[in-house]
Amino acid sequence: MSYLRKILHVLFTAAILIAASQPVIAAQSGTPKDTITVASGADPKSLDPYGTTDSPAGRIASQIFETLVERDDAGNIVPSLAESWEVKDPTTYVFHIRKGVKFHNGEELTANDVKFSFDKMSASPHASSVTGTIDFANSKAIDKYTFEMKMSEPFGPILNHLCHGVTAIVNEKGYTESGSAVNEKPIGTGPYKFVSWKTADSVTLTKFDDYWGEKAKVRNLVFRTIPEAASRVIEVETGGVDVALQVPPSAVSRLEKDKDIKIGIQETFRTDFLAFTCNKAPMNNVKLRQAINMGIDINAIQKVVFRGIGMAAIAPIGPSIRGYNKDLPHHEYNPEKAKKLLSEAGYPNGLKLTLTSDENQERLDVAEMVQAQLAEIGINLEVITLERGKFIDDVIAGNLQMFALGWTTNTGDPDYALYASFHTSMFGEGGNMSFYSNPKVDELLTKGRVLTDDKTRMEAYYDAQKIIWAEVPCVFYLHPQEITAYSASLKDFNIFPDGRSDFERMYF
Partner 1 sequence: MSAQDYKTNRKSGFWSDAWKRLRRNNAAMFSLAVLVLLVITAIFADAIAPYSYSVQDYDNLFQPPSAAHPFGTDNFGRDILSRIMHGSRISLLVGFSSIVTAIIVGGILGAVSGYYGNRTDNCIMRAMDILMAIPGMLLAISLAAMLKPGLINLVIAIAIADVPGYSRVVRASVLTIKGQEYIEAAQCIGATDRRIIFRHVLPNCMAPIIVQATLGMAGAILSASALSFLGLGIQPPTPEWGSMLASARQYIREYWHMTAFPGLAIVITIFALNILGDGLRDALDPRLRR
With a CB cutoff of 8 Å and minimum separation 6, the contacts of 138 are: 150
Smallest distance from the beta carbon of 297 to partner 1, in angstroms?
A: 8
| Nearest-10 crossing angle of helices 439-450, 454-471 | 160
Smallest distance from the beta carbon of 379 to partner 1, in angstroms?
A: 13
Q: Smaller CB distance to partner 1: residue 87 or 372? A: 372
Smallest distance from the beta carbon of 41 to partner 1, in angstroms?
A: 12
Q: Smaller CB distance to partner 1: residue 300 or 311? A: 300
Q: Smaller CB distance to partner 1: residue 141 or 400? A: 400
Q: Smaller CB distance to partner 1: residue 365 or 429? A: 365
Distance, in Å, from the CA atom of 488 to the CA atom of 156, rounded to the nearest integer, reads 41
Phi, psi of 83 (to 5 degrees): -70, -40
Cβ–Cβ under 8 Å, residues 161 and 411: yes
Q: Smaller CB distance to partner 1: residue 34 or 382? A: 382
CB burial of 159-187 (b: ≥16 within 10 Å; e: otherwise) equals bbbbbbbbbbbbbbbbbeebeeebbebbb
Return the HEC string of 104-135.
CCCCECCHHHHHHHHHHHHHCCCCHHHHCCEC
Smallest distance from the beta carbon of 363 to partner 1, in angstroms?
A: 12
Smallest distance from the beta carbon of 506 to partner 1, in angstroms?
A: 28
SS3 for 26? helix
Distance, in Å, from the CA atom of 170 to the CA atom of 186, rounded to the nearest integer, reads 8
Distance, in Å, from the CA atom of 102 to the CA atom of 104, rounded to the nearest integer, reads 7
Smallest distance from the beta carbon of 300 to partner 1, in angstroms?
A: 5
Task: State which amino acid sits at residue 140.
Answer: K
CB-based burial of residue 234 (10 Å sphere; 0-12 exposed, 13-18 middle, 19+ buried)? middle
Q: Smaller CB distance to partner 1: residue 81 or 309? A: 309
Strands (E), 437-480: 474-479
CB-based burial of residue 135 (10 Å sphere; 0-12 exposed, 13-18 middle, 19+ buried)? middle
Phi, psi of 242 (to 5 degrees): -95, -25
Dihedral sign, Cα of residue 75, residue 79, residue 84, residue 85: negative
Smallest distance from the beta carbon of 44 to partner 1, in angstroms?
A: 23
Smallest distance from the beta carbon of 356 to partner 1, in angstroms?
A: 11
SS3 for 209? coil
Smallest distance from the beta carbon of 39 to partner 1, in angstroms?
A: 15
Q: Smaller CB distance to partner 1: residue 34 or 228? A: 228
Distance, in Å, from the CA atom of 126 to the CA atom of 392, rounded to the nearest integer, reads 13
Q: Smaller CB distance to partner 1: residue 94 or 300? A: 300
Q: Smaller CB distance to partner 1: residue 364 or 467? A: 364
Smallest distance from the beta carbon of 321 to partner 1, in angstroms?
A: 29
Q: Which residues bind partner 1 (CB under 8 A)?
A: 228-230, 248, 250-251, 253-254, 300, 303-304, 359, 361, 364-365, 367-369, 371-372, 375, 382-385
Q: Smaller CB distance to partner 1: residue 31 or 238? A: 238
